[in-house]
Structures are given as C-alpha cells and as structure tokens.
C-alpha cells in the first residue's frame, strides 16, 4: 500500500508517497532528509514525549520532563500513565533521570528544568 503524508522537515511541505510493500521507499521528496523522514514516519513513527511530573517544595507544583530520545508513537499514553506515579522533591536538576528505560522503550524520562 502507498501511504501519503506531508513532510515536516522544512516549511516547504512536500507531499511524500511511501510504498509500504516496497521497503518503505519514498517518492515526492525534494531532499534526502525528506526521504528519511517519510521512511521512518511510516515504518516506525516515533516522538519525543514532553510532559510534567508532580514536584513538592519547588517554585511550581509541576516539573517539566521529556524522554531523552524519541519513543514509539504507540507508547506515548503508556508513558503518560507511568508519569502519574512519579513525585519529585525539590531541588531537581535539569538532566536528572526520573524514570529509566520507561515502558521498555530504552528511553529515560529526564528533568528539563532545575527547580
């Protein structure tokens, strides 16, 4: 099956066609980065998840966090659920690991702001 998507690598917005039956080959791109994006996006779409966790004793009641690498799109809600169980105590430092290998994705959830 050929899947169609808009490339987001740059603002141009090329319409990519990705052939799932032909090793996810990409047409419609105007640069190699577009081909890579299309291939990856259909074969194994991933995203960096950013969210917050509870924080006690800080300037704010929530501390921002992110996965330190892109995780499979299908895992995002599982990771969100895992974050509900996290509660940090101030001070925290940017880069500090909150959850290691979250939901077996190989990614760590890390703090993005020292609070």
Partner 1 sequence: MYDLIVVGGGPAGLAAACSAWEKGLKQILIIERDKELGGILNQCIHNGFGLHRFKEELTGPEYAGRFIDMLRDTGVQVMLDTMVLEINRDHQVHVISAANGYQVLEARSIVLAMGCRERTRGAIGIPGDRPAGVFTAGSAQRYLNMEGYMVGKRVVILGSGDIGLIMARRLTLEGAQVLACVELMPYSGGLMRNIVQCLEDWGIPLYLSHTITDIVAKDGRVSHVTVHKLDDNRQPIPGTNLEFDCDTVLLSVGLIPENELTRAAGIEMDPRTNGAVVYENMETSIPGIFACGNVVHVHDLVDYVSAESERAGAAAAAYVSGTAPEGGTIDIRNGADVSYTVPQRLRPGNVPKAADIFFRVRRVFKDSVIEVSADGAPLVTYKREHMAPGEMEHILLPRKLLDTVDASEITVTAKEA
Partner 2 sequence: MTNMFDVCIIGCGVIGAAAAFELSKYQASVLVLEKENDVAMGSSRANSAIIHAGYDPLPGTLMARLNVEGNAMAEDLCRDLDVPFKRIGSLVLAFSDAEKATLETLLDRGQRNGVPGLKILSAEEVLQMEPQVSPKVVAALYAPSAGIITPWEYTLAFAETAVLNGVELVRNAKVTAIQKGADGGYRITTTAGEFEARYVINAAGVHSGEIHEMVAPKTFTVKPNRGEYYVMDKAECFRANHVLFQCPNEDGKGVLVTPTMDHNLLVGPNAVGVEDGDRVNNTAEGMAFVRGKAELSVPGINYRNAIRNFAGIRANTDRDEFQISIAAERFIDLAGIKSPGLSSAPAIALEAMKLLSQCGFRPEKKAHPITTRKKVRFRYMNDQERRELILRQPQYGRVICRCETVTEGEILDAIHSPIPPCSVDGVKRRAGSGMGRCQGGFCGPRIVDILCRELHLDPLSVTQDGAGSRLLLKETKQVGDEF
Residue of 42, 29, 47, 44 lying closest to 3 (CA atoms): 42
Query: Which partner in partner 1, partner 2, none is near 85 (CB below 5 to 8 A by kind)?
Result: partner 2
Residues that bind partner 1 (CB under 8 A): 5-6, 8, 11-13, 30, 47-52, 54, 59-62, 64, 66, 73, 76-77, 80, 94, 112-114
Q: Considering beta carbons, is residue 94 or 100 the nearer one to partner 1?
A: 94
Q: Considering beta carbons, is residue 22 or 59 the nearer one to partner 1?
A: 59
Q: Which residues bind partner 2 (CB under 8 A)?
A: 52-54, 62, 77, 80-81, 83-86
Closer Cβ to partner 2, 42 or 63, answer by number: 63
Task: Using the minimum distance from each CB to partner 2, give the nearer residue, 25 or 52.
Answer: 52
Within 8 A by CB and 6+ apart from 58, the residues are 90, 91, 92, 115
Residue that is written with structure tokens 């300037």 in the block: 59
Answer with the entry of partner 1, partner 2, none that 84 interacts with (C-beta below 5 to 8 A by kind): partner 2
Distance of CA 6 to the CA centre of its chain: 18
* Contact criterion met (CB below 8 Å) for 112 and 94: yes
Rg (C-alpha) for the chain, rounded Å, is: 18
């Amino acid at each position: 099956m050929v899947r169609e998507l808009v490339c987001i690598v740059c603002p141009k917005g090329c319409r990519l066609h990705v052939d799932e039956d032909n090793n996810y080959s990409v047409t419609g791109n105007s640069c190699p980065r577009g081909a890579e994006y299309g291939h990856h996006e259909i074969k194994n779409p991933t995203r960096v998840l950013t969210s917050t966790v509870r924080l006690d004793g800080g300037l704010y009641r929530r501390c921002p966090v992110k996965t330190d690498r892109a995780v499979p799109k299908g895992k995002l809600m599982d990771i969100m659920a895992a974050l509900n169980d996290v509660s940090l105590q101030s001070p925290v430092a940017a880069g500090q690991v909150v959850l290691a290998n979250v939901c077996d994705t190989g990614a760590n959830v890390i703090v993005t702001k020292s609070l």
